[in-house]
């Protein structure tokens, strides 16, 4: 006998009734799934045989492209293995959609820039966009009239001039970052002078401490820039924002059947295999809570007429009428401000982490950066954003990190809203388009000897192409926060090397040498491309650097 709980009473229900109901759901769902798969295979086989379709990678029955779509390091795999065989335009057939990989800047520009009016939508993602409630965000909304308004309003707060206005905020955040690294990688001390020569026995700990410092510091910056929110020690609001961003980004490489069969979103949460519904519900609730804790708090203060700290949200609320702001404008500010954390924290964290990793295994380049900073800035302060023009080698190193270890080897997916033609190939309406950023960054027609890490390539009389041109997207989906992210990464990377030395462990150096021809194998296979934990030692450079750390206590925003 089975019991169900209802209104504080246990009600007996026959086992065979429960079993029959469960069996009915299983039979119905299985029948629908099998029928749709069979139809999709039949239709896609015909499409794959069309003479004008792009070259298609052979597929296996019942996986039909999934072995590539879900493969680790997918963009790199396609660039390294399949581009030489099939060319710059490659089609992957899936049971329910067509996907085209664009493997050179020329074809990406032709499809996503020149035909942006037809290629600026996003593909439908039932699981991670619709069911979690992020379909209102700038990054994932289709390119309709509202999306155009969202992009205009976010650009007004993040354009290059506006991005430079956050210089002081970058500096206070960077001061916090340096102190936080010091505290995490050394024993507690009242003065940085006391621990110059101290080394911890477990060097492997330092890379994880570095990542935690980077994530925390960038999170603090975004919360303050966007909402005027000053993060506290062990702040639950920052923790929720960070957890939500990391969870969503890490799962974008995961295959969810509900994306292939949207009807599955309506099955009961107790149904076998319905764990995705519980995950989506948790993400949705967390997102709603973060909106309430951040934007709604700023809005309620503005409506009361309170004086607000300057921030992206408060400035736009004031610009749109303050206490008299319309509901439409409120929605625009609400969803642009709440789009910033995931995009900004993910990109900048991965970039700074990759910069520090690259310097740990290339001590000669790190020493050149330190020499330039010492000569141009001196030893009594950390570099600022205003120093960038006199630190060309440091900036070139950051560019080479962006090129050699692109944060996203594949750009965010676009979808063709109507049939288009690229290089003589017909690309059908509804086809997913992916720009292969790894392929561009390692294209020998753009970069001489592309598998060599060489910052000098940007300092020649005729410098090679700035890779920042490709990192932040294409067409009408270029990331509007690119200037803020670029500025933040420069200041944090330069300041880190001005104060600290970092050296990779012997084990890390051996692994780097063994992966010299496949450097991506030291990085995470899914989500944003950032280093896996690596052995390293971080130490204060000398007494002058220790004195600079002491002055950081005056400018760091700790609370």
Question: Of 129-143, 253-267, 417-431, where does the model show the most confidence?
Answer: 417-431
Q: What is the pLDDT of residue 203?
A: 56
Going by the DSSP 8-state scheme, the letter that residue 420 receives in this structure is E
Query: Can you say how many angstroms the Cα of residue 479 is from the centroid of all Cα atoms in its chain?
Result: 11
Same domain, 497 and 383: yes
Q: What are the pLDDT digits (tens) for 206-221?
A: 899 999 999 999 999 9
Q: How far apart are CA 280 and CA 128, in angstroms?
A: 7
Mean pLDDT score, 257-265: 92
Structure tokens at 264: 């599955």
| Residue 378 is assigned to a structural domain of this protein | yes
Q: What is the pLDDT of residue 10?
A: 41
Q: How far apart are CA 487 and CA 133, in angstroms?
A: 30
Phi, psi of 10 (to 5 degrees): -90, 120
Mean pLDDT score, 436-451: 97
Q: What are the pLDDT digits (tens) for 531-546?
A: 999 999 999 999 999 9
Q: How far apart are CA 476 and CA 123, in angstroms?
A: 15
* Tokens 């980077």, residue located: 214
Same domain, 264 and 381: yes
End position of a domain, from candidates 33, 49, 65 = 49
Structure tokens at 434: 């992916």
CA torsion 385→386→391→393, rounded to 10°? 40
Q: How far apart are CA 221 and CA 241, in angstroms?
A: 13
Domain count, the chain: 2
User: In the structure, what pLDDT confidence band is assigned to residue 69 with cuts at 50, 70 and 90?
Assistant: confident
CA neighbor of 311 nearest in space, from 327, 333, 342, 343: 333
Q: What are the pLDDT digits (tens) for 455-474?
A: 999 999 999 999 999 999 99
140 Cβ contact list (under 8 Å, min separation 6): 122, 125, 129, 134
| Residue 217 is assigned to a structural domain of this protein | yes
| Residue 422 is assigned to a structural domain of this protein | no
User: In the structure, what pLDDT confidence band is assigned to residue 12 with cuts at 50, 70 and 90?
Assistant: very low
Task: Please report, in angstroms and rounded to a whole number, the separation of the first and last CA atoms in the chain.
Answer: 58
| Residue 411 is assigned to a structural domain of this protein | no
Same domain, 360 and 224: yes
| Residue 543 is assigned to a structural domain of this protein | yes
Annotated binding residue at 536? no
| Residue 235 is assigned to a structural domain of this protein | yes
| Residue 175 is assigned to a structural domain of this protein | yes
Secondary structure of 431-447 in HEC code, one letter for each residue? CEEEEEHHHHHCCCCCC
Same domain, 19 and 167: no
Contact in structure between 75 and 439 (CB atoms under 8 Å): yes
What is the per-residue burial (b if ≥16 Cβ within 10 Å, else e) of 420-435?
bebeebebbeebbbbb
Q: How far apart are CA 362 and CA 10, in angstroms?
A: 67
Task: Specify the CATH number for the domain of residue 497.
Answer: 1.10.630.10
Q: How far apart are CA 337 and CA 331, in angstroms?
A: 10
Q: Is the C-alpha dihedral spanning 359, 360, 362, 366 positive or negative?
A: positive
Same domain, 240 and 367: yes
Same domain, 357 and 491: yes
Q: What is the pLDDT of residue 135?
A: 85
Q: Is 6 helix (H, G, I), strand (E, B) or coil?
A: strand
Q: What are the pLDDT digits (tens) for 381-412?
A: 999 999 999 999 999 999 999 999 999 999 99
| Radius of gyration, alpha carbons of the chain | 26
Mean pLDDT score, 444-460: 97
Same domain, 346 and 228: yes
Q: What is the pLDDT of residue 342?
A: 85
Mean pLDDT score, 283-303: 92
Neighbours of 463 (CB within 10 A): 12
| Residue 37 is assigned to a structural domain of this protein | yes
Q: How far apart are CA 139 and CA 121, in angstroms?
A: 10
Residue 9 has pLDDT above 90, yes or no: no
Residue 89 has pLDDT above 50, yes or no: yes
Q: What is the pLDDT of residue 193?
A: 57
- The range of the structural domain enclosing residue 10 comes to 1-49
Query: Can you say how many angstroms the Cα of residue 463 is from the centroid of all Cα atoms in its chain?
Result: 28
Query: Can you say how many angstroms the Cα of residue 266 is from the centroid of all Cα atoms in its chain?
Result: 30
Mean pLDDT of all residues in the chain? 87
CA neighbor of 469 nearest in space, from 416, 384, 406: 406
Residue 199 has pLDDT above 80, yes or no: no
* Tokens 């190939």, residue located: 425
Q: What is the pLDDT of residue 48?
A: 46
Q: What is the pTM of this model?
A: 0.87
Residue 38 has pLDDT above 70, yes or no: no
Q: How far apart are CA 214 and CA 471, in angstroms?
A: 20
């Amino acid at each position: 006998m089975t019991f169900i709980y209802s209104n504080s009473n246990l009600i007996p229900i026959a086992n065979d009734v429960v079993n029959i109901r469960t069996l009915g759901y299983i039979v119905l769902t299985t029948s629908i799934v099998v029928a749709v798969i069979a139809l999709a295979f039949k239709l896609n086989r015909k499409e794959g045989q069309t003479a004008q379709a792009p070259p298609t990678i052979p597929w296996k029955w019942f996986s039909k492209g999934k072995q590539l779509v879900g493969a680790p390091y997918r963009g790199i795999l396609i660039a390294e293995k399949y581009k030489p065989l099939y060319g710059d335009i490659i089609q992957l057939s899936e049971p329910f959609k067509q996907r085209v990989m664009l493997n050179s800047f020329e074809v990406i520009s032709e499809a996503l820039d020149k035909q942006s009016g037809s290629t600026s939508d996003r593909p439908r993602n039932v699981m991670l966009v619709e069911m979690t409630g992020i379909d209102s965000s700038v990054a994932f909304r289709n390119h309709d009239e509202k999306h155009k308004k969202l992009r205009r309003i976010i650009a007004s707060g993040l354009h290059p001039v506006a991005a430079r206005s956050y210089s002081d905020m970058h500096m206070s955040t960077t001061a916090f970052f340096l102190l936080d690294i010091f505290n995490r990688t050394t024993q507690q001390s009242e003065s940085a002078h006391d621990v110059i020569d101290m080394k911890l026995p477990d060097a492997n700990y330092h890379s994880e401490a570095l990542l935690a410092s980077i994530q925390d510091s960038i999170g603090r910056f975004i919360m303050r820039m966007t909402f005027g929110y000053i993060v506290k020690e062990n702040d639950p609001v920052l923790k929720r924002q960070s957890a939500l961003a990391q969870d969503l980004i890490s799962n974008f490489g995961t295959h969810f059947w509900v994306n292939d069969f949207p009807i599955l979103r309506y099955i009961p949460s107790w149904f076998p295999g319905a764990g995705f519904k519980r995950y989506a519900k948790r993400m949705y609730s967390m997102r709603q809570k973060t909106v309430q804790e951040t934007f709604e708090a700023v809005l309620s203060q503005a409506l009361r007429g309170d004086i607000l700290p300057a921030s992206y949200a408060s400035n736009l609320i004031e610009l749109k009428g303050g206490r008299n702001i319309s509901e439409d404008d409120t929605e625009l500010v609400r969803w642009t401000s709440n789009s910033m954390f995931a995009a900004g924290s993910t990109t900048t964290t991965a970039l700074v982490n990759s910069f520090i990793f690259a310097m740990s295994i290339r001590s000669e380049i790190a020493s050149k950066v330190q020499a330039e900073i010492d000569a141009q800035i001196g030893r009594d302060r950390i570099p600022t954003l205003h120093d960038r023009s006199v630190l060309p080698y440091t900036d070139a190193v950051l560019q080479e990190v962006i090129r050699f270890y692109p944060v996203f080897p594949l750009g965010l997916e676009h979808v063709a809203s109507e049939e288009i033609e690229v290089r003589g190939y017909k690309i059908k309406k509804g086809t997913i388009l992916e720009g292969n950023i790894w392929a561009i960054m390692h294209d020998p027609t753009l970069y001489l000897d592309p598998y060599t890490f060489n910052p000098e390539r940007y300092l020649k009389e005729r410098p090679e192409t700035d890779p920042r041109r490709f990192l932040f997207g294409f067409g009408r989906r270029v990331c509007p926060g690119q200037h803020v992210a670029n500025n933040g990464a420069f200041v944090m990377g330069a300041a880190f090397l001005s104060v600290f030395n970092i050296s990779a462990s012997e084990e890390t150096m051996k692994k780097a040498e063994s992966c010299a021809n496949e450097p991506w194998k030291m990085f995470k296979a899914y989500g944003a491309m950032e280093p896996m934990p690596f052995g390293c030692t971080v130490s204060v450079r000398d007494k002058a650097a220790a004195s600079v750390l002491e002055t950081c206590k005056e400018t760091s925003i700790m609370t």
